[in-house]
Structure 1
Amino acid sequence: MTTSRRTIRLGGATVITVGLAAALAACAPTPAIPSTGTPTTTTAFEHVHGLGADPSTGATYAGTHQGVWQIPTGLLPDSYLAGAPDAEITRPTPTDGPAFDAMGFTVAGPGLLLASGHPGSDTSTLWAPNVGLISSADAAATWSNVSLAGETDFHDLDAVTLPTGALRVYGYDAAAGTVSISDDDGATWSPGAAVALRDLAADPATPDRVFATTENGLAVSEDAGRTFGTLSGAPMLYLIDVQDAAAGGGVVGIDPDGVVWHQETGGGTWTRGGRTEGTPEAFAVVGGSMPWLLAADQRGVVASDDFGLTWTVLVAAQA
Structure 2
Amino acid sequence: MAKPTRIVLTGAALALTLTGCAAGGSDPATPSDPLGHVHGLGLDPASGETYAATHDGVWLLPTDQLPGSYPAEDAASTGAPRKIGGNSQDTMGFTVAGPGLLYASGHPAPGEQTELPTPNLGLIRSTDRANTWESVSLSGEVDFHDLDTVPLPDGQTRVYGYDATAGVIRVSDDSGTSWQEQAAIDLRDLAADPTNPDRLYATTSNGFLMSEDRGATFDRVEGAPPLYLVDVADDGGGFVGVDVTGQIWSSDGRSWVKRAMVQGTPEAFAYVGGDDEHWVLIADERGIVATPDYGETVTVLTTNEG
Instruction: Give the alignment's TM-score, normalised by structure 1.
Output: 0.80
Given candidates 100, 112, 119, the residue that maps to 1:123 is: 112
Residue 243 of structure 1: CA displacement?
1.1
Work out whether residues 99 and 122 of structure 1, in 8 Å CA contact, stay in contact via their aligned partners in 2.
no
Cα gap change, 1:24 to 1:204, in 2 (>3 Å): farther
Given candidates 268, 278, 281, the residue that maps to 2:267 is: 281
Cα gap change, 1:234 to 1:40, in 2 (>3 Å): closer
Given candidates 276, 280, 288, the residue that maps to 1:301 is: 288
Residue 216 of structure 1: CA displacement?
1.3
Task: Give the corresponding residue for 2:158.
Answer: 168
Residue 269 of structure 1: CA displacement?
0.7
Q: Deviations over 1:141-174 (max 9, x none)?
A: 1000011111100000000111222100000011
Task: Give the corresponding residue for 1:12.
Answer: none
Given candidates 235, 250, 264, the residue that maps to 1:262 is: 250
Task: Give the corresponding residue for 1:153.
Answer: 143
Tell me how many residue pairs correspond in the alignment.
280
Given candidates 290, 296, 300, the residue that maps to 1:313 is: 300
Given candidates 214, 217, 226, the residue that maps to 1:227 is: 217
Deviating above 6 A after TM superposition, structure 1's stretches of 4 or more consecutive aligned residues are 24-27
Question: How far apart, CA to CA, are the structure 1 residues paired with 2:83 and 2:132?
Answer: 16
Question: How far apart, CA to CA, are the structure 1 residues paired with 2:189 and 2:142?
Answer: 17
2:100 aligned partner, one-letter code: G
Residue 315 of structure 1: CA displacement?
0.7
Matched, 1:103 2:92: yes
Alignment of 1:41-56 (within 5 A): 41=33, 45-56=35-46
Question: How far apart, CA to CA, are the structure 1 residues paired with 2:60 and 2:153?
Answer: 30
1:209 aligned partner, one-letter code: R
List alignment gaps of at least 5 residues for structure 1. 1-20
Cα gap change, 1:158 to 1:125, in 2 (>3 Å): farther
Question: How far apart, CA to CA, are the structure 1 residues paired with 2:267 and 2:228?
Answer: 10
Residue 107 of structure 1: CA displacement?
0.7
Work out whether residues 159 and 176 of structure 2, in 8 Å CA contact, stay in contact via their aligned partners in 1.
yes
Task: Give the secondary-structure state (helix, strand or coil) at the position aligned to 1:207.
Answer: coil
Q: Deviations over 1:231-270 (max 9, x none)?
A: 100000101111102xx73121001221111112xx1111
Question: How far apart, CA to CA, are the structure 1 residues paired with 2:105 and 2:267?
Answer: 17
- Structure whose alpha-carbon radius of gyration is higher: 1
List alignment gaps of at least 5 residues for structure 2. 1-20
2:255 aligned partner, one-letter code: T
Q: Deviations over 1:12-44 (max 9, x none)?
A: xxxxxxxxx9749787xxxx88xxx8x655x6x
Work out whether residues 253 and 262 of structure 1, in 8 Å CA contact, stay in contact via their aligned partners in 2.
yes
Q: Deviations over 1:161-216 (max 9, x none)?
A: 11222100000011111000001100100011000111111010111111111111
Work out whether residues 26 and 98 of structure 1, in 8 Å CA contact, stay in contact via their aligned partners in 2.
no
Given candidates 94, 101, 107, the residue that maps to 1:112 is: 101
Work out whether residues 22 and 88 of structure 1, in 8 Å CA contact, stay in contact via their aligned partners in 2.
no
User: Which range moved further: 175-184 or 248-257?
Assistant: 248-257
2:81 aligned partner, one-letter code: I
Question: How far apart, CA to CA, are the structure 2 residues paired with 1:255 and 1:155?
Answer: 19
User: Which range moved further: 64-73 or 230-239?
Assistant: 64-73
Cα gap change, 1:143 to 1:85, in 2 (>3 Å): closer
Task: Give the secondary-structure state (helix, strand or coil) at the position aligned to 1:198.
Answer: strand
Cα gap change, 1:138 to 1:74, in 2 (>3 Å): farther
Instruction: Give the alignment's TM-score, normalised by structure 2.
Output: 0.83
Cα gap change, 1:188 to 1:288, in 2 (>3 Å): farther
Work out whether residues 74 and 80 of structure 1, in 8 Å CA contact, stay in contact via their aligned partners in 2.
no
Task: Give the secondary-structure state (helix, strand or coil) at the position aligned to 2:68.
Answer: helix
1:251 aligned partner, one-letter code: F
Residue 317 of structure 1: CA displacement?
3.5
1:48 aligned partner, one-letter code: V
> Which protein, 1 or 2, shows the higher relative CO under an 8 Å CA cutoff with sep ≥ 6?
2
Q: CA RMSD in A?
A: 2.9
